[in-house]
């Protein structure tokens, strides 16, 4: 999994991007039962090409999650650099949530991944996880984060916010949700 792949042929690369974009839009529209055939067609490629890149439907969903995770890592590092340690944790959580606020496909994928843990996305998690761990530690030191919070809690807490985005009809109902969680994160 430490795959340092060499670049794809130009057309293949374009196809890959189209596939991902199509997957994102069809999953968002139709939910998890959007069909592989339809995604391929929407991307303008044969079904075989889709399977060449993503050997299973689940691997395609995972790819959607993975892309966002990489974005999450960038966001987390930026927040760590630029935000007061006392506010950093709530800030990342909000920024991460906002990053996927309109990505129904991601929200869906998070809930449908057969065994997600936030462990699932092995490599991508590492950097992100390390950054989050530091942010949490500093928050504790600053006295704004409850002592018994663990890094592993982060994933599920975020997961529950994305679920809220997907389920709550009210446009930005997830914010009230997250506000509750953020309040709970503070020391007693």
Partner DNA sequence: ACCTGAACACCGTTCAAGT
Contact residues for DNA (CB under 7 A)? Answer: 8-9, 11-12, 15, 33, 35-37, 44-49, 51-52, 55-58
Site of tokens 């055939």 = 37
Asked if 121 and 58 count as a contact pair (C-beta separation under 8 A), the reply is no
3-state secondary structure of 101: coil
Task: Tell me whether residue 85 or residue 120 sits nearer to a copy of itself (CB atom).
Answer: 120
163 sits near a copy of itself (criterion: CB under 8 A)? yes
185 sits near a copy of itself (criterion: CB under 8 A)? yes
- Which of a copy of itself, DNA, none sits in contact with 186, Cβ below 5 to 8 A by type? a copy of itself
- Sign of the CA dihedral with 62 first, then 76, 153, and 169 last: negative
Number of residues that bind a copy of itself (CB under 8 A): 37
Longest dimension (CA), the chain: 57
- The conformation of residue 5, written as its DSSP 8-state character, comes to P
For the chain, the C-alpha Rg in angstroms (whole number) is 18
- Which of DNA, a copy of itself, none sits in contact with 37, Cβ below 5 to 8 A by type? DNA
Which residues touch 100 (CB under 8 Å, ≥6 apart)?
68, 106, 107, 162, 165
Rounded least distance, CB 163 to a copy of itself, Å: 6
Site of tokens 């340690």 = 85
Binding to a copy of itself, residues 21-40 (CB under 8 A): 31, 33
Measured distance CA(16)–CA(104) in Å, rounded: 20
**Stretch of residues binding a copy of itself (CB under 8 A), selected from 13-21, 49-57, 126-134, 160-168:** 160-168
Rounded least distance, CB 35 to DNA, Å: 4
133 sits near a copy of itself (criterion: CB under 8 A)? no
51 sits near a copy of itself (criterion: CB under 8 A)? no
Name the nearest CA neighbour of 145 among 136, 157, 153, 158.
Answer: 136
The binding site for a copy of itself (CB under 8 A) comprises 31, 33, 111-112, 114-117, 146, 148-150, 152-153, 155-157, 159-160, 163-164, 167-170, 173, 176-177, 179-186, 188
């Amino acid at each position: 999994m430490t795959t340092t792949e060499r670049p794809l042929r130009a057309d293949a690369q374009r196809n890959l991007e189209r596939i991902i974009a199509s997957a994102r839009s069809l999953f968002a529209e139709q939910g998890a039962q959007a069909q592989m055939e339809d995604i391929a067609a929407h991307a303008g490629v044969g079904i075989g090409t889709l399977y060449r890149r993503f050997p299973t439907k689940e691997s395609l969903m995972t790819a959607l999650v993975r892309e966002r995770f990489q974005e999450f890592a960038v966001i987390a590092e930026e927040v760590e650099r630029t935000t007061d340690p006392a506010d950093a944790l709530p800030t990342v959580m909000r920024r991460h949530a906002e990053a996927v606020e309109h990505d129904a496909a991601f929200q869906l994928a998070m809930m449908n991944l057969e065994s997600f843990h936030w462990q699932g996305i092995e490599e991508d998690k590492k950097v992100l996880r390390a950054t989050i761990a530091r942010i949490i530690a500093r928050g504790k030191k600053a006295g704004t984060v409850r002592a018994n919070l663990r890094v592993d809690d982060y994933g599920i807490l975020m997961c529950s916010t994305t679920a809220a985005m997907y389920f709550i009809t009210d446009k930005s109902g997830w914010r009230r949700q997250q506000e509750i969680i953020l309040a709970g994160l503070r020391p007693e």
